[in-house]
Structure 1
Amino acid sequence: MIRHIVLFELTTTDPAEKDAQVEAARVALEGLVGVVPGLRSMQVSRNVAYDGRNADFILIADFDDLAALEAYQVHPEHVKAADYIGTIRSARYAIDLEV
């Protein structure tokens, strides 16, 4: 199994706007479970401590294997979610590990 972890920093500094943007990203990304083959689980959460020092939100997703992760990257529904996130983020950091 492959665990895909992504940290995002948002362009906005307004807490209410961050909450709304993360919620929109959460709905879009968590909605991919059952749609994207090989995607076992997806969790999207907003940072709750040390605002300004920590990333704003995290995505943790589990995939059957590396092929499933690669298929997810180009799946049309993921591309839609990624396009939205691209409009609100200032930075993205990712790591993929075998679990």
Structure 2
Amino acid sequence: MSGPTAGASPDRHGRLALERPQQFCPWDDISSGMDEVFGRRDTNTGSGVGRTVVWGLRLLGLVIVVLGLALWLLTSAGLVLLPGVVVVAGLAVMVIPGLLAGLVELLS
């Protein structure tokens, strides 16, 4: 079929309506294009159990830091070394598991 009604289709009233061509929008595929540019792949941000363990260790580290500060503030002024070690250990327990989880996710 050729002519002006070649791409026409009837509407619900039986009249011929010309089909509109699909318009190109450059923003439709921007996210998938950028993922290809940066070499990203669709990955999960971490398993539920792993994230739960990391957050549990962060909370445990926070408790250890608070206990270290309480030990320093509520005991004699000469005792500084032990509370300092406890605070540093609490900070390590808070930070290191998150760093290790991020490293494992990066390498996998």
TM-score (norm 2): 0.30
Q: Over alpha carbons, which structure has the higher Rg?
A: 2
TM-score (norm 1): 0.31
Higher-strand-fraction structure: 1
Bigger relative contact order, structure 1 or 2 (CA pairs below 8 A, ≥6 apart)? 1
Higher-helix-fraction structure: 2
